[in-house]
């Protein structure tokens, strides 16, 4: 089997895992499960950093996503506490 075919399979699997993780986190935030989202955030950060380190996504995209995800959590938590 060609090397690019093997790598493509691996990359598709990792990309799917990343998208599912981010989607799950977003669902936690939008549904108002703030405590669960806060405890899940380090897992999302870890996966984003690993994806950037292995060139699955660019470093700046990982940074942007981390910023947006934490901002969404902060916005939601201030709305619920008010």
Helix axes 3-30, 34-53, angle to 10 degrees: 160
pTM here is 0.88
Q: Which domains can be identified in the chain, with CATH numbers?
A: 3-81 (1.20.58.110)
Give 9-19 pLDDT, tens digit per residue.
Answer: 999 999 999 99
Give 45-78 pLDDT, tens digit per residue.
Answer: 999 999 999 999 999 999 999 999 999 999 988 8
Q: What is the length of the chain?
A: 82
The DSSP symbol for 58 reads -
């Amino acid at each position: 089997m060609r090397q690019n075919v093997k790598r493509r399979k691996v990359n598709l699997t990792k990309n799917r895992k990343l998208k599912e993780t981010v989607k799950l986190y977003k669902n936690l935030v939008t549904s108002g499960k703030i405590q669960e989202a806060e405890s899940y955030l380090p897992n999302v950060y870890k996966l984003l950093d690993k994806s950037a380190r292995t060139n699955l996504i660019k470093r700046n995209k990982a940074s942007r996503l981390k910023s947006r995800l934490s901002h969404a959590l902060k916005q939601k938590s201030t709305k619920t506490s008010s």
